[in-house]
Structure 1
């Protein structure tokens, strides 16, 4: 027994005492790297206690003594450290980690007693918290990136930590987007591992003299080191038992669930995917019956997994985690070789010996140990050590002497074929609120969306040094997965479409508050992205009555906008495009509002453009100034128009028939009446008259109660394919500054039912000709021909006859003059001269008679290119038919006619 009291202690004697302990009496030994200072190298381990676990941490407290009075505890901070417990066969059970906490718990006479906390690197990574994103990486790739970064940038971790994935047998697909949301690296990695069902544990080794701990990831029972070749003996052992034994054993089980269901929405397929897994082990009888209504149902964030197979795998791991938590064994032992994650076999236990060899194999899931060297100091030195010793002594259950080396442990274990899966709790995921991001795009794109209208963003927390692959902080679409945008309306090919521009700030929310599932809610104005200036005028708050939407031309500086002006007493709406200043203004019309003020320009609506315009309808157009206040009545309300047209039709028909009865030509009133019927039936088939037919004629009606005005400084043209009817209930008045020309292909009929028909050539000639037929002039009373300033000349090619109703006549022609009457013939003259024969020839006009035939031509309307080889058919107005093919110039057959007539020409496809 070695005893050292305070009264006899000096620094030199204490050092000699520790040296003797180090070489002769140690159960517990400390391992330090060769790079540690010499004062640190002289530390001697006195006592250790702590725990290690699969899916947990390695945490031990090592009490050490040193005779170096100048030992600086900071020299120990962060040093890779290990301790070993001497085994019964001469081997050593090793634990390695990092010295993360050093505390001086006693000092006296130049000697010190220290407590060092040894932990694994994952626990150390709890102190590093950050915000970052990962794109298109699997959980393993994310883990490798984070751990590799630490080993690359941290020489201590590079020397003390290794990691391995050989224990992973399952596939882990890439994830489109993962966010580390202010979590520590340790919490973040463990969140991902737990979600995937990946377990982890540590193994320890000395590389040379350097303590190294190895992080192993595992998803299969075979991934754990198997030490079951030699069975551990179950026996009530003393602390000095030479053979390691298990001294206490108890099995336990708890009621668990029967089923896990994972459901998540897949927005690309627009359906929920579901994976279900039932428990496979650990229950029968009443326990099985009780579990049948117990289910762990999780409605996970959208697109939980990379396909249904991956989701099913996750569900399987969740039920395995429940099964693991529902049963196991607890034991105490003095087996020094046990480590968390090792497989062992036990013998000598009454129940366990009845099991098969496979069933008697167990995997340690958690281990707590106590070990100390045989050393007794006086009370002041022993007091700090007794806090750890007393619980261990109670666990040993005997009166173990203080001067003997002691080792004991307690551990949890499960049968070795049990899947060891960490428990995943969705509540452990950071719950994020709203945050800002900036829209990003590739190249010089101003709008960068994919086929689903999704955008990419750069989160403002990302730092380039944490995103070395150019994904996350590059300002390109690689900074995030494609993110959906909240729209006021989103549907199957219809809805609203507002795409934020690259560089704009956008508000991000997270579906079910999960950091890996961002969605964009909408844009935010900021110091460089100002609220819109409609018409480039005014500013806020003076123009706060203006609201609406204003877009911007890509890679240019023109805009479109939809503006609502809610200024009191001056409300209006405007749809505007900078292209050709095209705009529809409605309501109170005014100049662009500046500083809240606008100059009035009118009321109602205004449709204007600096380019061309077109108003096109398929079922007719009504333009009317007959009021329907507040849009009352039907859309095509036209009662006044129909009444006026009815009067006109009656006048047109009646006066035309009267004219025909009096030798004039009647008007063709059938088309006029047809148009009247079309206007009457206009609404038939619409929602106002859904059951009526023959409606929707493509006609245009222009009507106004106070008059119509059409004017142009150039030519005005009116075309009609059939008749052009002009009817006035009072007067039709034509006035021309120069000529009034009326040409007709067949005939002209002028009829005045009452009053006069007046034809006057005020200064020029008055010509009346029948170029190829007779001219008839008749009067019910008198016929007067006068020439006020010249002569009256009557010339005929054959004969001139002047006759009265009583038979008296004068006939000139045929070289003779023939007169006759029933009474006296009286000639009054001053003299009478009868001389030889003489004639004076009259000059007669001649009239040409030209052909008025046609030559139809087929040409493309886009470029006037003539089209050859197309069949045609021509129906003439006289019933004739002509057919053939267009020639090389696109011409159909020539039609020779001596009078104008209608014809119908059809060009036919080759297969008609």
Structure 2
């Protein structure tokens, strides 16, 4: 037996194999807006040596005559099954195969990535992903979409990632089947939809079938749906404005006043009121799109999701009008391929009678009135990211990199780069850093540095909203103290950015116990009012250089003794009086002792006053004056001795402590 032929069949299949190697026996398919279609083909062929690998991943097309044109169903063979031999006479049995054909877009379900896109619109991101799979597509969108500073694909297939982006933006898609290709069309407005003409409604049947291509079953349904969407958002870069602005509320144009069904959502993905209003409108359109719909069955071969048709001839005049097909289920039966059918017909009439032996097309469908804007429902879940760790990155050669809000950039361990050189660039989002305390120009600030491993949380589990909440030690960044030997130590230790190995440190040792304050450079203490200190035992201070102190007044009480050693000169200058009092002895010793009074010098003793030099002396007592010396002269010439004058050096003024205002 030769292979059966499709030449004059109303429905034909074209595969990667030679023509008529496989012929189409039946097709059952499902197609819907914003969903990948699936066509289940039943194929027949004489060859028994076909292997699935010969067709898997290749293109397959079904052509269906519609009278005025040929309608195509094109896609990729996603599954191929060797079924069983069809019944037939010995030598005439055909092998039966089954193929599932899906759009090129379906290939995105077989790939998954963890990566980021920066500074691109949603359409630009979708275009980049589609390009990786060679998906042919056409942009029929009319709206302008904002640039997304940061968009994460995390632990999800490329299809799910693209789907949720489109659903969030209110962009839907359908397929154009032309030239053996399945072209994806992205749309957001009715202007992208083509009108496929009028289809009659009929209830005239012969043998249970309409007399001509028509819609023969029609149901029209209206349902309650949410008619109000309320969106709220918070933008930390405009915190005051976000706190003051009211929620965005958008109502459906034809919502039922008696049933205000509000859908309140937190939508963090918009920064302006205009953008929020666009998202809210897309959301209410999606909720309302399914509230009014028609369902039916037809033999009209022009019905296709993404196409418009005009219903005519319905007994209820209000039902007639334009509709958008949103989904359809196809049923195609080609007919018998028994040997007697392969005799070439003698005439066109005979050809029609012998090859179109039964109806070849039937479908059930769902459609929306054209007047209602269509938006895809949000059915693709957003991936949920749990706690993770990442490494802080900075520009080449820098240890720290931040911006005005204290954000840093991080590299996740799962991050993918294409090309790899992208990892050397700073095209990453800024990630907020949680501090232990944060207020208006007050709080704590500890900025992560390049190479640190930090703990990342995601607000509401959203991969687009990472947050640094802590840091971790690892083998590359060990703790500052050997553990467990120093497990009793708690500390804050920093590292100098100069690379000299210096540090600043505040350490608590609960083993001794001890408090250590270490400054690798300058230490400033600025007390605006009082500073009090109490030391239970000794207080020691070593100043290798100079100590400069300035006080308003100085009261100093020493309960015990005092010993002061000055290695060089000591100067004391008083603006008014200098008073010294000793309860027992008061001794002054020096190579030269010079006492000078500008007006007078008074030396007074209660019992005795003595001036002594060598063997000579003068002694004054209450009883009298005694003068003794080898020679005592009065008015005998000579001169008074002299000594250097007393001129105290003024101290250097100390520097003022930093009050920290320079960092604000």
User: What's the TM-score once normalised by structure 1's chain length?
Assistant: 0.63
| Deviation readout 1:632-683 (Å, 9 max, x if unpaired) | xxxxxxxxxxxxxxxxxxxxxxxxxxxxxxxxxxxxxxxxxxxxxxxxxxxx
Which one of 491, 495, 499 corresponds to residue 447 of structure 2? 499
2:462 matches 1:514: yes
| Matches of 1:72 and 1:344, distance apart in 2 | 42
Equivalence for 1:451: 404
| Deviation readout 1:207-226 (Å, 9 max, x if unpaired) | xxxx2111111111222112
Which one of 586, 602, 615 corresponds to residue 733 of structure 1? 586
Q: Shift in Å at residue 500 of structure 1?
A: 1.3
Equivalence for 2:607: 755
Q: Shift in Å at residue 279 of structure 1?
A: 3.2
| Deviation readout 1:539-579 (Å, 9 max, x if unpaired) | 21111111111111114122111111011xx1111011234
Equivalence for 1:127: 110
Equivalence for 2:352: none
CA contact (8 A) 1:77 1:102 kept: yes
| Deviation readout 1:22-49 (Å, 9 max, x if unpaired) | 123x1211133xxx233x7521111101
Q: Shift in Å at residue 297 of structure 1?
A: 0.9
SS at match of 2:569: coil
| Deviation readout 1:237-274 (Å, 9 max, x if unpaired) | 55765642111111111111231111121111223455
The correspondence of residues 820-859 of structure 1 with structure 2, limited to 5 A, is 843=637
Q: Shift in Å at residue 377 of structure 1?
A: 6.2
Q: Shift in Å at residue 716 of structure 1?
A: 1.8
Q: Which structure's CA Rg is the greater one?
A: 1
Which one of 177, 192, 199 corresponds to residue 232 of structure 1? 199
SS at match of 1:182: strand
2:362 matches 1:408: yes
CA contact (8 A) 2:213 2:299 kept: yes
Distance verdict in 2 for CA 1:711–1:608, change over 3 Å: closer
Q: Shift in Å at residue 325 of structure 1?
A: 2.1
CA contact (8 A) 1:221 1:417 kept: no
Which one of 550, 557, 560 corresponds to residue 504 of structure 2? 560
| Matches of 2:29 and 2:318, distance apart in 1 | 33
| Matches of 1:783 and 1:316, distance apart in 2 | 117
Distance verdict in 2 for CA 1:30–1:375, change over 3 Å: same
| Matches of 2:541 and 2:283, distance apart in 1 | 65
Which one of 589, 592, 599 corresponds to residue 746 of structure 1? 599
| Matches of 2:466 and 2:402, distance apart in 1 | 16
Which one of 52, 72, 78 corresponds to residue 31 of structure 2? 52
SS at match of 1:723: coil
SS at match of 2:117: strand
| Deviation readout 1:789-846 (Å, 9 max, x if unpaired) | 23x3222xxxxxxxxxxxxxxxxxxxxxxxxxxxxxxxxxxxxxxxxxxxxxx64759
| Deviation readout 1:752-807 (Å, 9 max, x if unpaired) | 3x2122222246x889xxxxxxxxx99875444433x23x3222xxxxxxxxxxxx
Q: Shift in Å at residue 732 of structure 1?
A: 5.4
2:633 matches 1:793: yes
Equivalence for 2:101: 118
Equivalence for 2:67: 88
| Matches of 1:221 and 1:605, distance apart in 2 | 85
Report which of the two has the higher share of helix. Answer: 1
Distance verdict in 2 for CA 1:708–1:784, change over 3 Å: closer
SS at match of 1:552: coil
| Matches of 1:604 and 1:415, distance apart in 2 | 91
| Matches of 1:447 and 1:609, distance apart in 2 | 34
Alignment root-mean-square deviation, CA: 3.1
Distance verdict in 2 for CA 1:467–1:312, change over 3 Å: farther
Q: Shift in Å at residue 107 of structure 1?
A: 2.3
| Matches of 1:72 and 1:742, distance apart in 2 | 123
Equivalence for 1:37: 17
Distance verdict in 2 for CA 1:64–1:615, change over 3 Å: farther
The correspondence of residues 265-414 of structure 1 with structure 2, limited to 5 A, is 265-270=234-239, 271-272=242-243, 275-284=247-256, 288-290=257-259, 292=260, 294-301=261-268, 304-351=269-316, 353-354=317-318, 360-375=321-336, 403-414=357-368
SS at match of 1:227: strand
| Deviation readout 1:147-166 (Å, 9 max, x if unpaired) | 12222xxxxxxxxx31122x
CA contact (8 A) 1:62 1:115 kept: yes
2:83 matches 1:76: no
Q: Shift in Å at residue 111 of structure 1?
A: 3.0
Distance verdict in 2 for CA 1:571–1:406, change over 3 Å: same
Q: Shift in Å at residue 368 of structure 1?
A: 0.9
Distance verdict in 2 for CA 1:610–1:406, change over 3 Å: farther
The correspondence of residues 247-266 of structure 1 with structure 2, limited to 5 A, is 247-266=216-235
Q: How many residues align structurally?
A: 612
CA contact (8 A) 1:219 1:419 kept: no
| Matches of 1:283 and 1:467, distance apart in 2 | 50
SS at match of 1:419: coil
| Matches of 2:430 and 2:233, distance apart in 1 | 18
SS at match of 1:269: helix
| Matches of 2:626 and 2:314, distance apart in 1 | 153
| Matches of 1:64 and 1:459, distance apart in 2 | 49
Which one of 397, 415, 438 corresponds to residue 462 of structure 1? 415
| Deviation readout 1:482-506 (Å, 9 max, x if unpaired) | 0011110111122111111101111
| Structure 1 unaligned regions, length at least 5 | 1-11, 152-160, 379-400, 534-538, 590-601, 621-697, 768-776, 796-841, 849-859, 863-912
Q: Shift in Å at residue 295 of structure 1?
A: 1.4
**Comparing both chains, which one has the higher relative contact order based on Cα–Cα distances under 8 Å and sequence gaps of 6 or more?**
2
Equivalence for 2:487: 544
Q: Shift in Å at residue 77 of structure 1?
A: 0.3
CA contact (8 A) 1:131 1:182 kept: yes
2:195 matches 1:223: no
2:84 matches 1:106: yes
Equivalence for 2:575: 721
Q: Shift in Å at residue 190 of structure 1?
A: 0.5
Distance verdict in 2 for CA 1:204–1:263, change over 3 Å: same
The correspondence of residues 141-156 of structure 1 with structure 2, limited to 5 A, is 141-151=124-134
| Matches of 2:246 and 2:338, distance apart in 1 | 65
Q: Shift in Å at residue 333 of structure 1?
A: 0.8
Q: Shift in Å at residue 700 of structure 1?
A: 1.9
Distance verdict in 2 for CA 1:701–1:329, change over 3 Å: same
SS at match of 2:238: coil
| Matches of 2:563 and 2:463, distance apart in 1 | 68
SS at match of 2:196: coil
User: What's the TM-score once normalised by structure 2's chain length?
Assistant: 0.85
The correspondence of residues 173-188 of structure 1 with structure 2, limited to 5 A, is 173-188=146-161
CA contact (8 A) 1:456 1:482 kept: yes
CA contact (8 A) 1:54 1:200 kept: yes
2:138 matches 1:164: yes
Which one of 122, 128, 133 corresponds to residue 139 of structure 1? 122
Distance verdict in 2 for CA 1:300–1:782, change over 3 Å: same
Distance verdict in 2 for CA 1:342–1:614, change over 3 Å: farther
Which one of 368, 371, 391 corresponds to residue 417 of structure 1? 371
| Deviation readout 1:566-612 (Å, 9 max, x if unpaired) | 11xx11110112348999xxx9x9xxxxxxxxxxxx96655556555
| Deviation readout 1:334-384 (Å, 9 max, x if unpaired) | 110111100111110122x347xxx81111111111011121769xxxxxx
Equivalence for 1:477: 426
| Matches of 2:537 and 2:634, distance apart in 1 | 68
Q: Shift in Å at residue 313 of structure 1?
A: 0.7
Distance verdict in 2 for CA 1:330–1:611, change over 3 Å: farther
Q: Shift in Å at residue 78 of structure 1?
A: 0.6
SS at match of 2:283: helix
Q: Shift in Å at residue 747 of structure 1?
A: 2.3
| Deviation readout 1:666-721 (Å, 9 max, x if unpaired) | xxxxxxxxxxxxxxxxxxxxxxxxxxxxxxxx222221211332222222221212
